[in-house]
Structure 1
C-alpha cells in the first residue's frame, strides 16, 4: 500500500515538470528570441515568462541599472519613449528613475519596478529585457536626450514647404494668366485669328484647372505648416511639464531629496 502511495506521489511531482516543459516548447515556437523586443515582452504572460527564462541567470544590482539606463536613454533619443532618466538613491540604495508629464517609474537593483502612468508601462518591458544576459543593450547615448523647449524648431521640412509653395504659385499665376488671355480674346479686346478665337474656351478650361490645382496645393502647404507649429508647441509644453530646462522636481524625488538634505 505504501509503495502504491509513493508511486502516485512521484507521478504527481513529475506532472508539473512535464507541463512546464510543454509550456516552454510552446513559448519557443511562439516568440522569436533572436529578435525579442518590448512589444513581445508586453504580450507575454507571467507563466510564459517564468517558463522561458531561468531566474538564477537574471542580471541584478548596479549592472542591471546601468543596462536599463542605457536602453531607456537610447529609446528616448530615438523618440520611442518620452521621459527624463536620472540616477538617484534612497537610504543608500541606488535607484534609476524615469518621469514625464504622464507618470513615473522607479527601478530598484533587484529588478522590481514601481510607479504609474505610461512611463511605467514603457519601463517595465525594458527592465525585463535588460535583466537577460542574452539581450544586447545599445550603447549609452551622449549628451541630453531631450531638447530644451526653446530649442524645438517651429516645424520640419521647410525646404519642401517652400518648394511646394513655389510650384503652387507658378500654377496659380499661369492659370490666372490663361483666364485673362481667354477674357481678352473672347470679348474682342485683343484681335486674333478665328482659329485662335475658337480655341479660347480650351484656354480658359486649362487655366481654370491650373488655378484650382495651385490654390489646392497652397491650402495643403498652409495646413502642413499649421500642423507643424501645433505639434512643435505641444512638444514644448510636454518638455516644460516634465521639467526639462527648469528646476522642476517631481514630488516623489523632491521629498526624497529633502529627507537626504535633512
Structure 2
C-alpha cells in the first residue's frame, strides 16, 4: 500500500538471519510514529494481523481526529478538509498535500505526506487510542500570530544585564572616588567583567527578539501561502469544483 503498510503476501516467512522478531525489537505498548517508520514490510506482516486493520469510514474518522489533535499541538502544519462519497481526507500546506483514502492508502507530495502517514498507520490499529481534538484545532489566522514569545525571559535578562552594568559602573567610579589602594587592578578587572557581561546579555536579548520577529513573519507567510486567511487552496492542490481530482502518476506517494 502507498502508506508504507505491507501488502498481503501468500506464504511469506521471516528468515532467521533478518534479526530478532518484531516483538523483541519494538515496544508495542509504547509504539509510536518513530517505531512505525523503522518497521519494514516483513516486520509488519510478522507483528500484525492484516484482518485486524481498521479501514473504511471508521479509519477516516480516526485519522481526522488524530490529525486535528496534531494540528492543534502544531505537530503538523496543514489545513485539513474532509470529502464524502467516498470519505477521504485532504491535508495541505504551502509546500505539499496528502490525500487519505478509506483503504488506508496515502497519495500526494511534499512533507505533508510524511506527516500524515504515521497517523494513518497508527489509526488503522485497533489498539491505538485516538484522543478527542480540541474545539479550536485549526491553524491560527496569520494576523493573530504574535511578534515573538518568551517576553518574560527577555525582560529578566534585561534586568540582570542592567544590574551588572550598574555594578560595573559603580566599580569604575570606586577607582576614582574611593580608596582601593593595591586592589585597583582587581577592581578594574571586576568592573570590566561586569560591563562585558551586561553588554553580552543585552546582545542576547536583542538577537532573541530579532529572531522571534523573523520567525513570526515567516510563519505568517506560510499561513497565508496555505490559504488560512483567504480560504483559497494553493494551486497545486488537486481539487476542482469541490471534488478531488485523480492524482498524477508522478505525484503518487512513495514515487
Partner of 2:57: 62
Rounded to whole Å, the distance in 1 between the matches of 2:20 and 2:153 is: 52
Partner of 1:179: 172
SS of the residue corresponding to residue 93 of structure 1 reads: coil
RMSD: 2.5
The counterpart of 1:229, out of the listed 213, 233, 237, is: 213
Higher relative CO (Cα under 8 Å, sequence separation at least 6) belongs to 2
Rounded to whole Å, the distance in 1 between the matches of 2:19 and 2:123 is: 21
The counterpart of 1:125, out of the listed 113, 118, 121, is: 118
Change (3 A) 1:259 1:124: closer
Q: Is it true that 1:155 corresponds to 2:148 in the alignment?
A: yes
Q: Is it true that 1:93 corresponds to 2:86 in the alignment?
A: yes
| Alpha-carbon contact 2:14-2:42 (below 8 Å) kept | no
| Alpha-carbon contact 1:24-1:48 (below 8 Å) kept | no
Change (3 A) 1:140 1:240: same
Q: Deviations over 1:115-165 (max 9, x none)?
A: 111111111121111011111111122123311111111111111111111
Partner of 1:82: 77
TM-score, normalised by the number of residues in structure 1? 0.81
Q: Is it true that 1:48 corresponds to 2:33 in the alignment?
A: no
Number of aligned residue pairs: give it: 234
| Alpha-carbon contact 1:24-1:52 (below 8 Å) kept | no
SS of the residue corresponding to residue 199 of structure 1 reads: helix
Who wins on radius of gyration, i.e. which is larger? 1
TM-score, normalised by the number of residues in structure 2? 0.83
Q: Give the superposition deviation at 1:31.
A: 1.1
Q: Give the superposition deviation at 1:88.
A: 1.7
SS of the residue corresponding to residue 106 of structure 1 reads: strand
Partner of 1:34: 29
Partner of 2:253: none
Rounded to whole Å, the distance in 2 between the matches of 1:246 and 1:144 is: 18
Q: Unmatched 5+ residue regions in structure 1?
A: 1-15, 186-191
Change (3 A) 1:175 1:130: same
Rounded to whole Å, the distance in 2 between the matches of 1:199 and 1:49 is: 74
Q: Give the superposition deviation at 1:96.
A: 0.7
Q: Give the superposition deviation at 1:25.
A: 7.1
Q: Unmatched 5+ residue regions in structure 2?
A: 1-10, 246-255
Rounded to whole Å, the distance in 1 between the matches of 2:181 and 2:242 is: 86
Rounded to whole Å, the distance in 1 between the matches of 2:88 and 2:121 is: 16
